[in-house]
Structure 1
């Protein structure tokens, strides 16, 4: 284990990121690395490049305990950091040698702007950094590149959850300290993740349930869109093979669902819905009508669905292929009359709960939507 002082800069010089990686508070002396500059896009880990007359601002941190250093090393491996030693100028003291880790510099790029990074993804990166450091074995740069989008989407989901009001007029109003959880093992999986944890929470009798063993599938926020043509009274159903029913042993693991997709980092649920409608079904939509949002399986998954109706133009009753080849999507789209879609719901051919809920919402509002669209049959 290295016992060198560390010079941290860029994201690691931010308290939230450093603490997420090392599980220790950031405690360092202001320091400067002369002869170098930071370059890179505001959503990237910056590269350290040699530049005469330039200075990188950061902090000099004392050698870390073994466990914290192991987490920092895992973080560095995933991001492709290379380490070297150099002399840094310390505030109020003599220059000191320090260990420095940074991505291998590529082609010269724009100067990295810490303020722009904070505004763009500072809070999200702290959550991402914690997941990266938690990974065992450490993620390779190739594995991280493959998983980065999902790691970012999970972080964005957590930020969105923390910022969303949670009304409590009937249910318990959660307070600080009501819930505590800790991981028993690193997250497992390459797309979604499985969290094995110990959970404690307040009981209704005023006591506490302590150290309950729980497993939760750590998913992401997703947007679901039900396209509906009110003038022709048609809905669009998306058919695709699903691994969940297949693993359960269903005799038919092809499902009929709404348009759906992950809310990528930096997107709103509405933007994700408009994008997915283009990608999956070739629909150019102007706006979405909120239906509801919530957890489809709160006992076993973090998945959170944002459900919308889209007023669409579906001129023909037909089926066609859809989806993106680069995302390995094999979709069949069906534009069918509303009454037929409802019969599929009642016979069990539509057996996806969010789709059923959205169909029954549409049934309740259908007459109004048809009247507003000027349908003669309204």
Structure 2
């Protein structure tokens, strides 16, 4: 059977067409309902699930005319969410019934969390979901669905960061649609990070188009970095954890003293992420945040954009069990008097660039914060 009933995000035409790689006008699409079922939001996620529920009806689309390739692409995309097809009978608008298959979640995998609204999802999540799906589908035929499922969270984090990047303007009059020519674009690798490659030309300072260059970028989400500071005690808090990249470059000291830091989750503001990370990593409740600027951490190699903050609050205790076990974090903290902290900065005892940036910002604003 090649007829499917969609009750969730794939009712959104742009997403379904992206997954299929062709327009819906080439298929037969009808409004339909699945009786004795209801569609609920998934707790903590931006997609829905369907559950048996006597007397309810799940609204959706019956789509007919899929090719074997269509079904492979759909199974690849939905497989990333751990959904499998189940045969059902759906009711059409004229009261007739039709056989169709429906993507059902693995039992017990997700927790329902209130009725789900397609329009509510479109307003809040469609744009980031489309960007994430573009990355996922770029690996169709090259990477299995299990790998995509394992990296679903970082893919969405990168999509959320891309949306934020599109709004990042400072007044440069140049236009990338006219001043940058992409000869080829390849998504080369997907994991916690992504890697994308370009053959690209860009307009040079003399007004001419430059030669074609091969460039690559480590694709990351956006991050927050927060230096907790107690203006009453005039002290800062630092966290220490093992950093694999520092180890990989043969640095003999891969345990790094840093500010609190973490990725911005889809749907979060940088400020929300800053407060959350302070709690998760250092078990510190911050009172307020002082924005200390934002910048790309290494624009020649990485897409990571960092929002810098000094977080004000009372610092009274240190811990040696910070971080989330689910993320493999093993974090301890220390509180340093401001003078001791700055002496260590001047003695080059820290190797974390955001920490040095925030130390210099704090030095310029400390009197105001203490006042």
Note whether the superposition's TM-score is higher than 0.5: yes
Structure 2 counterpart of 1:54, from 54, 57, 63: 57
CA, structure 1 residues 210+114, in 2 after alignment: closer, same or farther (shift >3 Å)?
Answer: farther
The SS at the match of 2:145 is coil
Q: How far is the alpha carbon of 1:305 from its aligned partner? A: 0.7
- What does residue range 248-267 of structure 1 map to in structure 2 within 5 Å? 248-267=249-268
CA contact (8 A) 1:17 1:130 kept: no
Q: How many residues align?
A: 360
CA contact (8 A) 2:7 2:58 kept: no
CA contact (8 A) 2:40 2:51 kept: no
TM-score normalised over the length of structure 2? 0.82
CA RMSD of aligned residues (A): 3.3
Q: How far is the alpha carbon of 1:54 from its aligned partner? A: 3.2
The equivalent of 1:376 in structure 2 is: none
The equivalent of 1:341 in structure 2 is: 341
CA distance in 1, matches of 2:200, 2:41: 39
CA, structure 1 residues 231+195, in 2 after alignment: closer, same or farther (shift >3 Å)?
Answer: same
CA, structure 1 residues 95+304, in 2 after alignment: closer, same or farther (shift >3 Å)?
Answer: same
CA, structure 1 residues 228+185, in 2 after alignment: closer, same or farther (shift >3 Å)?
Answer: closer
CA contact (8 A) 2:33 2:92 kept: no
- What does residue range 72-87 of structure 1 map to in structure 2 within 5 Å? 72-83=74-85
The equivalent of 2:332 in structure 1 is: 332
CA distance in 1, matches of 2:65, 2:203: 39
CA, structure 1 residues 13+249, in 2 after alignment: closer, same or farther (shift >3 Å)?
Answer: same
The equivalent of 2:235 in structure 1 is: 234
Q: How far is the alpha carbon of 1:103 from its aligned partner? A: 3.3
CA distance in 2, matches of 1:19, 1:210: 35
CA distance in 2, matches of 1:51, 1:192: 44
The SS at the match of 1:119 is helix
CA, structure 1 residues 72+203, in 2 after alignment: closer, same or farther (shift >3 Å)?
Answer: farther
List runs of 5+ in structure 2 lacking aligned partners. Answer: none
CA distance in 2, matches of 1:321, 1:85: 52
CA distance in 2, matches of 1:108, 1:255: 38
Matched, 1:187 2:185: no
The equivalent of 1:24 in structure 2 is: 22
Q: How far is the alpha carbon of 1:264 from its aligned partner? A: 1.6
CA, structure 1 residues 133+9, in 2 after alignment: closer, same or farther (shift >3 Å)?
Answer: farther
Q: How far is the alpha carbon of 1:18 from its aligned partner? A: 2.0
CA distance in 1, matches of 2:10, 2:68: 17
The SS at the match of 1:310 is strand
CA distance in 2, matches of 1:308, 1:108: 35
TM-score normalised over the length of structure 1? 0.81
The equivalent of 1:271 in structure 2 is: 272
Structure 2 counterpart of 1:44, from 26, 44, 47: 47
CA contact (8 A) 1:8 1:61 kept: no
CA, structure 1 residues 57+280, in 2 after alignment: closer, same or farther (shift >3 Å)?
Answer: closer
The SS at the match of 1:308 is strand
Matched, 1:138 2:120: no
CA contact (8 A) 2:38 2:57 kept: no
Q: How far is the alpha carbon of 1:274 from its aligned partner? A: 1.0
Matched, 1:364 2:364: yes
CA distance in 2, matches of 1:34, 1:59: 10
Farther-moved stretch of structure 1 (290-299 vs 51-60): 51-60
CA distance in 2, matches of 1:220, 1:53: 40
Q: How far is the alpha carbon of 1:312 from its aligned partner? A: 2.3
The SS at the match of 1:41 is strand
Farther-moved stretch of structure 1 (327-336 vs 257-266): 327-336
Matched, 1:160 2:158: no
List runs of 5+ in structure 1 lacking aligned partners. Answer: 373-378
Q: How far is the alpha carbon of 1:224 from its aligned partner? A: 0.7
